[in-house]
Amino acid sequence: MLAIHAGQLIDGNGGAPLRDAVVLVEGERILQVGAEQAVQVPPDAEVYDASDKTLMPGMVDAHVHIHTPGGLTRGRGTPLDQVAQPPGTLVLRAWSYAQQNLAMGFTTLRSVSSPAYVDVALRDAIDEGLLQGPRLRVSGQGITITGGHMDRTGWPLEVNATGRTGVGDGPWGMRKAARMQLKYGVDLLKFNAAISVHSLDYTQRQPYKQEMTYEEMAAICEEAHWAGKRAAAHAYGGAGVTDALRAGVDSIEHGPWLTDEHVELMAKQGTYFVPTLTVFARGWELGMEGTGSTPAGRNWLAQARDARWESLTRARTAKVKIAVGTDAGFWVRHGENARELQELVQGGFTMMEAIVAATRTGAECLDMASEIGTVEAGKYADLVIVDGDPLADVRILQDAAKIVQVFKGGQRAKL
């Protein structure tokens, strides 16, 4: 048995922190939580003294791409680079990226599209105890239309590189793509509802356009729900978001151009919002050279970077459930995940609200609230010990030196 004495406990539920707390851990799970004077520690328990530190739940990043490193878009991580690497190499790279997240206190990740079922293989290896890593919820290949957001390689017809994405057209094509992901054991389905348009000369001069029809989205969502799983939509704005919500999608990813009508429907249906604020900020910081962007793409990013705040405010005002997701593996490097909490605070959240978005709400978004997300008896002992008070400055969660120890299922994950 393990007994952790914490100077401050943030349990993830959003209430006031508990001072001088004790958490008893037996095996993988939390046995008891309470004030020091109310918890009897067995004499043979291993005691971890964090009496001058903060204890909080392991965090959740609900939007990562586990097979790519993130950061500069040029070079490693590009479609051509990924095709040149065997799937086994991608899995091993993904494992190293997963460990970077875990070391920073992110004990659970949701991977939203990887080629060749790299994320499925890594999840299974971790679950079997073959590798140390965070808990993974995975979507396998992202689902897209022919020539859509995840089918834009532009290779000659004689070049055949299969297994990268689930491509389909029409409702029955989408059902086949969805069923293929389910066949290989994914935890959710991810599809593209509304993608970016970098030219304002597009019809109606909007920075987004709908990728899939309502019927295509409805087919994917129905397949997911028949299998008892969830569906997530890459969606920036407009009618594509509306149709995804009508189709019953469980989470909207990115969404910098949500309208009042969108957020009202999201709140009514219980749809989660994963705004990935950090990726827009990091893309801007990397510049055109770092992202390999065109002037039109840079202009689009400037619009999205500004629009995200209004979208976030709308969703928060409507009481939409907002979860932390970073798009790590794209312009955000793995291990930088906690910046999303800083971005939420910049967008009007309190420090506590940002932490809840990274813990309890993240767990709910992944349909894992009964197992993780809060420090409560019966749940997995996924815990983070922090040197300092993130309620005073949430930015300390970005400092590796301040993440003193991470426990996943009661086992030390940071050595």
pLDDT digit string, tens, across residues 267-312: 999 999 999 999 999 999 999 988 888 899 999 999 999 999 999 9
Q: What are the residue boundaries of the structural domains of the chain, listed by start?
A: 2-57+374-412, 59-337
Average pLDDT over residues 330-344: 97
For tokens 């910081």, what's the residue? 285
pLDDT for the residue numbered 204? 52
- Determine what percent of the chain is predicted with pLDDT higher than 70: 92
CA distance 34 to 350: 25
User: Three-state DSSP class for 225?
Assistant: helix
pLDDT bin (cut points 50, 70, 90) of residue 165 is confident
CA distance 56 to 130: 27
CA distance 331 to 175: 31
**CATH number, domain 59-337:** 3.20.20.140
Angle at 191 between CA 188 and CA 194, to 5 degrees: 145
Residues in contact with 300: Cβ distance below 8 Å, sequence separation at least 6, in sequence order = 196, 197, 198, 207
For the sheet with 411-412, list strands across it.
Answer: 29-35, 18-26, 2-9, 46-57, 383-386, 403-408, 411-412
pLDDT for the residue numbered 72? 80
pLDDT for the residue numbered 153? 64
237-246 per-residue burial string, b: 16 or more CB within 10 A, e: under 16: bbbbbbbbbe
- Return phi, psi of residue 72, to 5°: -60, 130
Report DSSP letters for 270-281, one per residue: T-EEE--HHHHH
Query: Dihedral, CA atoms, 252, 254, 260, 263, nearest 10 degrees?
Result: 30
Which residues on adjacent β-strands are paired with residue 256? none
Please, what's the largest Cα pairwise distance for the chain? 72
User: Three-state DSSP class for 186?
Assistant: coil
Overall fold of domain 2-57+374-412: Urease, subunit C; domain 1 (2.30.40)
Sign of torsion, CA 58 252 271 110? negative
pLDDT at 232 over 60: yes
pLDDT bin (cut points 50, 70, 90) of residue 202 is very low
pLDDT at 38 over 50: yes
Average pLDDT along the chain: 93
